[in-house]
Chain A
Amino acid sequence: MNFIIYILKKLTYLTTVLIGIIILMFIIVQSIPGDPARAAAGPAASKERLIEIRKDLGLDLPVYIQVYRYFGRVINLDLGKSIRTKKDVWDELVLYLPASIELVVSAMFINIFVGVLIGIYSAVKPRKIIDKLSNLITILGMGLPIFWVGIISQLLFYNILDIFPYGGRLPAGVNPPQHQTGSYIIDSLLMWDLGLLSISLHHLILPAFIMSLPELAVTARIMRNSILNVLNKDYIITAKAKGLNQSRILFVHALKNAMMVPISLFGMQTGWILGGTLLVESVFSWGGLGSLAYNAIYKRDFPIIMGVTLVISLCFVLTNFSVEIIHKYIDKRLT
């Protein structure tokens, strides 16, 4: 029963957060200078046409009425139409989201897998080469702007070493797999097309790695500190005194407790990585939500900006919600 109350409490909190985000975004987006009607009408539209478009889009109404109407539409899963392309925002999001999810999930996979491994190794062998390297990665990963790292990585891995493509999800001349999920990795696996799978993976590795880099650095450091902390606990000292071997102590007794802190972090990291798609997708011409948002911001396409923000916020909120549920499941004492 407590568990259900806990979930309901969290859901209420998350819904409030989402409503707050929508209101805030609506106000911010409306206050950006620029006339969306002009963007929609094109450079040579007549005055009458501009007035007509403003009316169609409801831009002639006060902001609070526009927010109210927007909520009404969101509840019915109607996010409106793109001002520029006149396509349904919902359709646009469905088209672009799989590419971003593919990238974010891959980046998170690299973040968790590599970050945790580096963290464990650094904790077990402190001040050794891996620990020092991990320190360096942390400083670089957190200190350097991600778009700059992206461009430099293209220069190194594409232009000089020639081991990764410049970007894009597939090279020119190669057709994507038949659309089933929108993820080229999953769709080529479903078609059992290993050639296409390898090409898709080849295109995915570099942007996913670059995207994971700042978070990977954090994961590694937090994992290291968390393990070092656990290794100093009484029960671990007792286990050592009992003569249990090092790997059993580490992987069976220490790791479960040491993972509590990084797990809380993963929820936040998913959101941060999703937010970072705008820059990484632009550098690597990825064609996901980030690219959609980039164009929408440039063209003042407010419904698209709102739609993308809503999706990213929703992903952020849901991931954190899932992480908190997992946490509660592992540690029943949490309130």
Chain B
Amino acid sequence: MKNLKIKLGAFIISMALTLTASANSNTIKIAHSEYAFSYDPVFCNWSDIGRICAVAYDALLKFEPTNKVLVPHLAKSYKKLDGGSKYRFILNKNVTFHDGNKLKAQDVKYSFERIMAIKDGVANLIQDVRSINVIDDHTFDILLKRPTAAFLYSLPQIMIINSKTAKKYEVDGDWAKKYLDDHDLGSGPYKLSLHLAEQRAEFKKYDNYWKGWRTDNINGVTFLWIKDSATQRLMLEKGDLDIMMEPVLSELKDLKKNSNLQIHSTSSAVVFTIDFRVIRKPLDNINVRKALAHAIDYEYHLNVALEGFGKRAKGPLSSQLMFFNDNLPLVDFDMKKAKQYLKEAGYPNGGFTLKVAYESGQAEKQRALEMIQQNWGLLGIKVEPVGTDWMGQDEMQKNKDSDIDVYLGYIWPAAAETDIALRTFYHSDYKGVFGDNAPFWSSDKVDQLFDSGIVEQNINKRSEIYKNLQHEIVKGFSSAFVSETPFVIVTNKRVVGYEYNPAHHQAIDVYNMTLSN
């Protein structure tokens, strides 16, 4: 009986300790809604796994967000050879993977070949790679099928894995995919210490990280997968969370009042567009498209739909990316001009209906829809909304025969590079392939500019080509470019040093951050 009482006492005490338990103060806790189903860097372009990649893996080059340039990372140097169809890289010699194996050129070769064989995730970014030639343990060449200037900008997304260990855990030629379901094979600053499916992943600092450790580095990272944003908010306000990745914009005003929190907002690499399907009548008439674009209240969108966050987009490319053309003519909100263009198009009183597809779960798009419904209504144009989700919309966009006239969409770059960002949206080769080109618009001149820009090696000439390209796209009025979608995260006040990186949208560079006391 006495023994039972002691056990009961211990049980109650541990229960009480649970209630008062405080978290490790030098571990950063990041909540987001999407579960990272794998630690395989092939999927680094998925935002959920991209966050993991940012802490556990390293790439040959890194995109430095302040100056928007590529900087050496695992590769200490690189040079262009054979007019840009070959690149020679020299690796840092002091890099080790999380199990102590040293980084060698063979690891790079394996990592690239693995991605090309799996043909998934980031594979599309390196489709121009022909082969990797290892010269010695720390030197290798990447041979390209054609001199592709955008190639280097895809490298920050290509993480290098530990080939020795990967080979050890390969099952039936699966390139260690199964092993990577709950292990990491990286050389990044943090290594996986606990994986709980659909709950959380914990990473601890890797003591032998090749870049070394400052005294104020964060010791650990915990990713918590919390689907409900209300729960995330409660945890943040209570101090149980350091970073909330997907706040609801309408709640930011309230959160701003909390002196323990800070809101980090920046315009992102993503551009919100209202796309007019130019192959459908009456949108085949450029004056109708101009009328619709002038009847969009851009300021209202920024101030109401985006709650004052975000920035007016000038064209298809975000100002976060290189070769952004700052001199594009801005389409203003002017109902008189809109009426004039409609008259010129032969529709002085409107009198037609437009079916508009939008993602009904997204507040930004819902509000944009309400706004255009009202403004276009004043032109005598009836808007018939078709609510769906992103996959449903993608399906419609891909389908040439879809009866949708207008799409509310995003230009979401796969890498922080102009060609990669725009090609699938505006090159005629990609019409109907992915659904990115929702307007089904193309122009020979734009195709020519893409084709010359991708092989051009002189950066100034490239800049000129892509600036012209943006100008041509804007001239076509296939879309109204509404806003650079804001990227907002809310952090606890103790989080210091966060910076948005357009190459790793939604990832957090924990290594370069600190937690203040």
Which of A49, A168, A282, A283 lies in contact with B224, CB distance below 8 A? Answer: A168
Shortest C-beta distance, B480 to chain A (Å), equals 23
Chain A residues lying within 8 Å of B225, measured Cβ to Cβ, are 285, 287
Which of A42, A167, A169, A173 lies in contact with B120, CB distance below 8 A? Answer: A42
Chain B residues lying within 8 Å of A198, measured Cβ to Cβ, are 11-12, 14-15, 18
Indicate with 1 or 0, residue by residue over B1-38, a CB within 8 angstroms of chain A CB atoms.
00000010011101101110101100101000011011
A167: nearest chain-B partner, CB-CB: B231
B-contacting residues, A175-201, CB 8 Å: 175-176, 194-195, 197-199, 201
What's the dominant secondary structure at chain B's contact region? mixed
Which of A44, A162, A169 lies in contact with B424, CB distance below 8 A? Answer: A44
Indicate with 1 or 0, residue by residue over A150-161, a CB within 8 angstroms of chain B CB atoms.
010011001100
- Do B199 and A168 touch (CB < 8 A)? yes
Choose among A33, A162, A163, A197 the residue with the greatest number of B CB atoms under 10 Å from its CB.
Answer: A33
Which of A39, A42, A151 lies in contact with B43, CB distance below 8 A? Answer: A42
A300: nearest chain-B partner, CB-CB: B391
Q: How far is the CA of A38 from the CA of B197 in the complex (A)?
A: 24
- Do B389 and A162 touch (CB < 8 A)? no
A44: nearest chain-B partner, CB-CB: B124
Chain B residues lying within 8 Å of A154, measured Cβ to Cβ, are 230-231, 234
Q: Does any Cβ of A come within 8 Å of B332's Cβ?
A: no
Q: Say yes or no: A202-B230 contact (C-beta < 8 A), given A96-B198, A159-B238, A194-B7.
A: no
Which of A49, A166, A197, A295 lies in contact with B235, CB distance below 8 A? Answer: A166
Chain B residues lying within 8 Å of A158, measured Cβ to Cβ, are 234, 238
Q: Does any Cβ of A come within 8 Å of B395's Cβ?
A: yes
Q: Does any Cβ of B come within 8 Å of A43's Cβ?
A: yes
Q: Say yes or no: A292-B198 contact (C-beta < 8 A), given A42-B121, A159-B238, A202-B19.
A: yes
Q: Does any Cβ of B come within 8 Å of A233's Cβ?
A: no
Which of B27, B391, B412 lies in contact with A38, CB distance below 8 A? Answer: B391
Which of B7, B29, B120, B127 lies in contact with A41, CB distance below 8 A? Answer: B120
Chain A residues lying within 8 Å of B200, measured Cβ to Cβ, are 168, 172
Q: Does any Cβ of A come within 8 Å of B167's Cβ?
A: no
Q: Does any Cβ of B come within 8 Å of A332's Cβ?
A: no
Q: Say yes or no: A34-B194 contact (C-beta < 8 A), given A158-B234, A198-B18.
A: no
- Do A151 and B199 touch (CB < 8 A)? no
- Do B227 and A294 touch (CB < 8 A)? yes
Q: Does any Cβ of B come within 8 Å of A45's Cβ?
A: yes
- Do A44 and B228 touch (CB < 8 A)? no
Chain A residues lying within 8 Å of B38, measured Cβ to Cβ, are 85
Q: Does any Cβ of B come within 8 Å of A221's Cβ?
A: no
- Do A167 and B226 touch (CB < 8 A)? yes
Number of interface residues of B (CB under 8 A): 66
A-contacting residues, B57-82, CB 8 Å: none
Shortest C-beta distance, A24 to chain B (Å), equals 21
Q: Say yes or no: A287-B197 contact (C-beta < 8 A), given A42-B43, A173-B202, A194-B7.
A: yes
A-contacting residues, B40-70, CB 8 Å: 43, 45-46
Q: How far is the CA of A154 from the CA of B227 in the complex (A)?
A: 14
Number of interface residues of A (CB under 8 A): 59
Q: Does any Cβ of B come within 8 Å of A171's Cβ?
A: yes
B-contacting residues, A290-335, CB 8 Å: 291-292, 294-295, 298-300
Q: Say yes or no: A43-B45 contact (C-beta < 8 A), given A154-B231, A166-B240, A287-B197.
A: yes
Q: Does any Cβ of A come within 8 Å of B150's Cβ?
A: no
A-contacting residues, B424-456, CB 8 Å: 424, 433-435
Chain A residues lying within 8 Å of B7, measured Cβ to Cβ, are 194
Choose among A84, A172, A286 the residue with the greatest number of B CB atoms under 10 Å from its CB.
Answer: A172
Shortest C-beta distance, B234 to chain A (Å), equals 5
Chain A residues lying within 8 Å of B10, measured Cβ to Cβ, are 194-195
Chain A residues lying within 8 Å of B230, measured Cβ to Cβ, are 151, 154
- Do B120 and A172 touch (CB < 8 A)? no
Q: Say yes or no: A33-B395 contact (C-beta < 8 A), given A172-B23, A295-B35.
A: yes
Shortest C-beta distance, B177 to chain A (Å), equals 7
Chain B residues lying within 8 Å of A78, measured Cβ to Cβ, are none
Q: How far is the CA of A298 from the CA of B199 in the complex (A)?
A: 18
Chain B residues lying within 8 Å of A257, measured Cβ to Cβ, are none
- Do B394 and A38 touch (CB < 8 A)? yes
- Do B234 and A155 touch (CB < 8 A)? yes
- Do A199 and B197 touch (CB < 8 A)? no
- Do A33 and B388 touch (CB < 8 A)? yes
Q: Does any Cβ of B come within 8 Å of A60's Cβ?
A: no
- Do A285 and B414 touch (CB < 8 A)? no
Q: How far is the CA of A174 from the CA of B113 in the complex (A)?
A: 38
Q: How far is the CA of A42 from the CA of B231 in the complex (A)?
A: 29
A203: nearest chain-B partner, CB-CB: B18
Q: How far is the CA of A197 from the CA of B412 in the complex (A)?
A: 46
Q: Does any Cβ of A come within 8 Å of B246's Cβ?
A: no
Which of A35, A283, A298 lies in contact with B231, CB distance below 8 A? Answer: A283
Q: Say yes or no: A95-B125 contact (C-beta < 8 A), given A285-B225, A294-B227.
A: no
B35: nearest chain-A partner, CB-CB: A295
Indicate with 1 or 0, residue by residue over A25-45, a CB within 8 angstroms of chain B CB atoms.
000000011110011011111
Q: Does any Cβ of B come within 8 Å of A86's Cβ?
A: yes
B-contacting residues, A80-97, CB 8 Å: 84-87, 95-96
- Do A42 and B46 touch (CB < 8 A)? yes
Chain B residues lying within 8 Å of A199, measured Cβ to Cβ, are 14-15, 18
Q: Does any Cβ of B come within 8 Å of A47's Cβ?
A: yes
B46: nearest chain-A partner, CB-CB: A42
Q: Does any Cβ of B come within 8 Å of A229's Cβ?
A: no
Q: How far is the CA of A50 from the CA of B434 in the complex (A)?
A: 9
Q: Say yes or no: A33-B392 contact (C-beta < 8 A), given A43-B414, A168-B200, A194-B10.
A: yes
- Of all A-B residue pairs in the complex, the 7 with the closest CB atoms, nearest first, are A34-B391, A287-B198, A33-B392, A44-B124, A195-B14, A287-B199, A198-B15
18 A-B residue pairs with CB within 8 Å: A33-B396, A35-B391, A87-B178, A95-B197, A151-B230, A166-B226, A166-B235, A167-B226, A168-B200, A172-B202, A175-B194, A202-B19, A283-B228, A285-B225, A291-B227, A295-B35, A295-B198, A298-B389
- Known A33-B396, A168-B200; further 16 A-B contacts with Cβ < 8 A: A35-B395, A42-B45, A42-B120, A44-B125, A45-B124, A46-B124, A84-B37, A151-B228, A166-B231, A168-B224, A171-B21, A172-B202, A194-B10, A199-B14, A201-B15, A285-B199
Residues of B within 8 A of A (CB): 7, 10-12, 14-15, 17-19, 21, 23-24, 27, 29, 34-35, 37-38, 43, 45-46, 119-125, 127, 177-178, 181, 194, 196-200, 202, 222, 224-228, 230-231, 234-235, 237-238, 240, 388-389, 391-392, 394-396, 398, 412, 414, 424, 433-435
